[in-house]
C-alpha cells in the first residue's frame, strides 16, 4: 500500500459523475452488460466453454473415425454423428451454468450484485440471458466445427449431413436448443440451492442416474414418468427420424413428438426459474 | 438521510434487531456502536435491502432503497469486504458494478486511484490481504458518488495510514453534506471520527446522542480518592446512592457524590487526602458502561480477584469480544 492519494481538498466525487446527470441510473440493458462483464472476466467461464467445445468436437471426430472403419457406417445418420458430443457438452455447460450463480453465493459476490440491483429479478434475468445466448452460440459453433472437421471422413460414406435439409436442421438446431435449455435448468437449480456442490450433484444425479434408471425400470409408473423427465423429453428434439422410428414402436409409455418433448423440458425450466425468482425476492442475501 | 422506524429482524426464535428507530442525518458522521451480535450489521444490511425486515420500515432519502431509480447514486455500502468474487480482478469487479448504472469507466479508474489500489487492480481478489479487500469495498461504495455512505467496520484490517485515510475521507464526505453512517468497534477511532453516536445492544438502541453527550453522561460521577485514612473516610461518606470500590487499601473510587462534597467531609473530619480527582470518562468508558448489560457473550475474566475488578478491569470483558 504505497499510495493513498486522497487529499481532503481534492474531490472524491471527481468530475466523472455529474450529480445532476440523469443518465447514471439502473436499466435492464445495463444490468445485462454488467452480467456480461462478470461472465467473461472469470477463468471458470473460459475453461468450461473451452472444455465444452473440445468435448463436443472431439466426440464427433471419434464417432466419425469409428464410422469410417465400418462398412457403410453404423446406422447413425450424419446429423447424429456431428451432434454426438451433446452428451458431454451438456455436462460441461451445466457446470458453467451452476457456477454463474452459485459462484456468487459462495464468494459473497451476490451481496454486491443485489446492492447494485436491489430489485434482484433483473440480475437473475440478465444472468439467464447471458448464459443462454452463450450456451446456444458455443454449442452451435461446436456442432458446425464438428461438421467441418468430419466432412471429409463422412462424405465418401454418403453420411455428410446436408445442412439445408429440414430434418437435419431440426436435429442440429435441436442439439443447440437442448444444451441451452439444460444450461438454464442447471442455472435455475444453482439459484434455488445456492451451493455449487449441491446444485451439481442434483443436475448430474438427475441427468446421469435418475433418468437412466427410470428408463430401464419395467414398472408402468417408471415407463409413464420417464418420457417427461427433463433430459429424456428434451433430447427428442435432436433425435433424427430414423432413430425415432426405430425406438418409438417398442415404447410402453407415452411417446412425445420432438417438439412436444422439448416443450416439456422448457416447462421444467420455466417452473424452476419461476420458483427461483420467487425465492430470490424473499430470501436474505 | 436514513430513517428507521420500528425496524425488527428475527431469525427463527432469535431476535437480532428489536424494533429500532433512528435517524441518520446528512452532513455529519454518525457512528454505530455495539458489542458483537448487537445487530449492527443486520441493521445496515436491512437499510440496503439485503436482509428483509421482519417488521418496521427503513428508508433512504425518503424511499425504500430498492425503489430508487439509481440505487448506487443514493447509497454506497461497504457491508462485507468479502462481497466480491475471488476469481475476478478488482478492476473487472468495479467495472461490472459501474456497468449496472452506466457509470463511466473513468470513474472506475478514479476510485481505484483514490483508494490506492492501482498496484493490485488487475490482480484477482482472492489473493488480496484484508486491508486490500477493505479498500476495494470502499472503492465499490464510492463508485456511484452516493449521497449516503454506509460503512460496516471500514477500518477493519487497515494499517494506521489507512485508518487515517478513512477518517479524513468520511469527515470530508460528511463535510460535503453527505450522510455517513459507519460502525466500528474501535472507540478511540469513533471519538475522532464521529459527530453523533447511536449505541445498540442486544438489538435495541441504548443511546442516540452527540458524541459529547455520550461522554458527558458517564463523566463526573466517579471520584478517585487516595488517603491514608481511607477506612475512616468511607465510614463518613457512606449513605444512600453512594458506592465505594477499592483496588488497594489507600485508594478509593467513589460514585454518587461530588469531589467537592468529599473534600468538605474530609476537611471537617481533619482527614489527610493525597488525591481527590473527578474521573472524566473516555468515550470508551462511556460505551462500556452503556453496553455492559447487553454484551451477549460474556467472557470469563480469569486471574482477577473481585476487589481488583475496578472500572479498568471491567473494560477487558467486551474488549476481548471485539473482533
| B135-142 mean pLDDT | 96
Backbone angles phi, psi at B133, to 5 degrees: -60, -40
* Nearest-CA distance B162 → chain A (Å): 8
Task: Please count the residue pairs, one from chain A and one from chain B, whose beta carbons lie less than 8 angstroms apart.
Answer: 155
Contact B132 A1 (CB under 8 A): yes
pLDDT for residue A251? 78
Q: Does CATH place domain B220-279 in 3.30.70? A: yes
Preferred mutation among B54, B90, B100, B147 to probe A, highest tally of A CBs within 10 A = B100
Domain boundaries, chain A: 28-282
Fold identical between B2-216 and B220-279? no
Higher local confidence (pLDDT), B306 or B204: B204
Instruction: Please state, in angstroms and rounded to a whole number, the distance separating the CA atoms of residues A260 and A258.
Output: 6
B65 contacts in A (CB within 8 Å)? 118
Residue B290 has pLDDT above 90, yes or no: no
Its ipTM equals 0.89
* Nearest-CA distance A114 → chain B (Å): 7
Q: Is B248 helix (H, G, I), strand (E, B) or coil?
A: strand
Nearest to B84 by CA among B132, B137, B156: B137
A19 contacts in B (CB within 8 Å)? 145
Burial of A249 (0-12, 13-18, 19+ CB in 10 A): exposed
Domain boundaries, chain B: 2-216, 220-279
- Specify which of A70-79, B17-26, B186-195 reaches the highest per-range mean pLDDT: B17-26
Question: What are the DSSP calls for A37-98, one per residue?
Answer: HHHHT-HHHHHHHHHHHHHHHHHHHHHHHHHHHSTT-SS--HHHHHTTTHHHHHHHHHHHHH
The pTM of the full predicted model, rounded to 2 decimals, is 0.83
Which residues are CB-neighbours of B98 under 8 A, at least 6 positions away?
A: B104, B105, B107, B108, B143
Cell numbers for A56: 463436443
What confidence tens digit (pLDDT) does each residue in B174-195 have? 999 999 999 987 777 788 899 9
Fold of B2-216: Rossmann fold (3.40.50)
* Nearest-CA distance A154 → chain B (Å): 43
Contact B83 A44 (CB under 8 A): no
Cβ atoms B274, B174 nearer than 8 A: no
Q: Which helix (H) or strand (E) holds B22?
A: strand B14-24
| B316-320 mean pLDDT | 36
A37 contacts in B (CB within 8 Å)? 92, 95-96, 99
What confidence tens digit (pLDDT) does each residue in A139-148 have? 999 999 999 9
What confidence tens digit (pLDDT) does each residue in A235-256 have? 999 999 888 888 888 777 889 9
- Closest alpha carbon within chain A to B137: A112
Cβ atoms A185, A230 nearer than 8 A: yes
Of A30, A108, A285, the CB nearest to B99: A30
What's the mean per-residue pLDDT of chain B?
A: 85
Interface check A164 vs B, CB under 8 A: no
Amino acid at each position: 500500500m504505497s499510495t493513498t492519494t486522497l487529499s481532503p481538498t481534492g474531490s472524491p466525487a471527481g468530475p466523472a459523475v455529474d450529480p445532476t446527470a440523469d443518465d447514471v441510473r439502473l436499466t435492464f440493458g445495463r444490468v445485462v452488460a454488467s452480467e456480461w462483464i462478470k461472465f467473461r472476466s472469470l477463468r471458470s467461464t473460459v475453461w468450461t466453454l473451452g472444455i465444452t467445445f473440445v468435448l463436443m468436437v472431439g466426440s464427433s471426430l471419434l464417432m466419425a473415425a469409428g464410422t469410417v472403419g465400418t462398412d457403410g457406417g453404423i446406422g447413425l445418420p450424419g446429423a447424429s454423428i456431428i451432434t454426438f458430443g451433446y452428451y458431454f457438452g451438456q455436462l460441461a455447460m451445466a457446470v458453467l451454468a451452476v457456477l454463474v450463480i452459485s459462484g456468487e453465493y459462495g464468494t459473497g459476490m451476490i451481496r454486491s450484485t443485489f446492492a447494485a440491483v436491489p430489485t434482484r429479478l433483473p440480475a437473475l434475468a440478465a444472468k439467464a440471458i447471458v448464459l443462454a445466448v452463450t450456451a446456444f452460440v458455443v454449442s452451435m459453433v461446436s456442432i458446425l466445427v464438428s461438421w467441418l472437421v468430419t466432412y471429409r471422413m463422412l462424405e465418401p460414406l454418403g453420411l455428410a449431413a446436408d445442412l439445408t435439409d429440414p430434418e437435419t436442421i431440426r436435429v442440429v438446431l435441436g442439439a443447440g436448443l437442448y444444451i441451452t435449455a439444460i444450461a438454464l435448468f442447471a442455472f435455475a437449480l444453482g439459484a434455488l440451492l445456492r451451493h455449487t456442490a449441491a446444485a451439481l450433484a442434483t443436475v448430474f444425479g438427475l441427468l446421469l442416474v435418475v433418468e437412466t434408471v427410470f428408463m430401464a425400470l419395467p414398472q408402468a409408473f417408471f415407463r409413464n414418468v420417464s418420457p417427461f423427465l427433463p433430459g429424456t423429453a428434451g433430447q427428442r428434439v435432436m433425435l433424427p427420424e430414423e432413430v425415432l422410428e426405430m425406438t418409438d414402436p417398442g415404447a410402453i409409455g407415452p411417446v412425445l413428438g420432438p417438439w412436444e418433448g422439448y416443450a416439456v423440458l422448457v416447462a421444467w425450466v420455466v417452473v424452476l426459474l419461476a420458483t427461483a425468482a420467487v425465492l430470490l425476492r424473499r430470501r436474505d442475501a | 438521510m436514513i430513517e428507521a422506524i420500528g425496524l425488527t429482524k428475527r431469525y427463527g426464535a432469535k431476535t437480532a434487531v428489536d424494533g429500532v428507530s433512528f435517524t441518520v442525518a446528512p452532513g455529519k458522521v454518525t457512528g454505530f456502536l455495539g458489542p458483537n451480535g448487537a445487530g449492527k450489521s443486520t441493521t445496515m444490511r436491512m437499510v440496503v435491502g439485503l436482509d428483509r425486515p421482519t417488521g418496521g420500515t427503513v428508508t433512504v432519502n425518503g424511499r425504500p432503497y430498492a425503489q430508487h431509480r439509481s440505487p448506487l447514486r443514493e447509497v454506497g455500502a461497504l457491508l462485507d469486504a468479502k462481497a466480491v468474487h475471488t476469481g475476478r480482478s478488482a478492476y473487472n469487479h468495479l467495472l461490472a458494478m459501474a456497468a449496472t448504472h452506466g457509470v463511466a469507466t473513468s470513474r472506475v479508474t478514479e476510485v481505484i486511484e483514490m483508494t490506492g489500489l492501482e498496484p493490485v487492480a488487475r490482480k484477482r481478489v482472492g489473493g488480496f490481504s484484508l486491508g486490500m479487500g477493505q479498500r476495494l469495498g470502499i472503492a465499490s461504495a464510492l463508485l456511484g458518488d452516493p449521497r449516503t455512505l454506509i460503512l460496516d467496520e471500514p477500518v477493519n484490517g487497515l494499517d494506521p495510514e489507512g485508518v487515517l485515510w478513512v477518517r479524513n475521507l468520511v469527515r470530508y464526505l460528511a463535510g460535503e453534506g453527505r450522510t455517513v453512517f459507519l460502525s466500528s468497534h474501535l472507540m478511540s477511532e469513533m471519538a475522532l471520527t464521529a459527530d453523533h453516536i447511536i449505541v445498540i445492544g442486544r438489538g435495541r438502541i441504548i443511546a442516540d446522542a452527540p458524541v459529547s453527550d455520550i461522554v458527558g453522561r458517564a463523566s463526573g460521577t466517579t471520584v478517585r480518592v487516595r488517603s491514608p485514612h481511607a477506612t475512616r473516610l468511607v465510614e463518613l461518606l457512606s449513605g444512600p446512592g453512594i458506592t465505594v470500590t477499592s483496588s488497594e487499601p489507600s485508594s478509593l473510587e467513589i460514585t454518587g457524590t461530588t469531589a467537592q462534597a468529599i473534600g468538605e467531609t474530609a476537611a471537617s473530619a481533619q482527614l489527610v487526602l493525597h488525591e481527590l480527582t473527578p474521573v472524566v470518562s473516555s468515550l470508551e468508558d462511556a460505551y462500556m458502561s452503556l453496553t455492559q448489560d447487553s454484551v451477549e457473550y460474556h467472557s470469563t475474566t480469569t486471574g482477577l480477584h473481585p476487589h481488583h475488578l475496578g472500572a479498568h478491569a471491567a473494560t477487558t470483558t467486551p474488549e476481548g469480544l471485539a473482533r
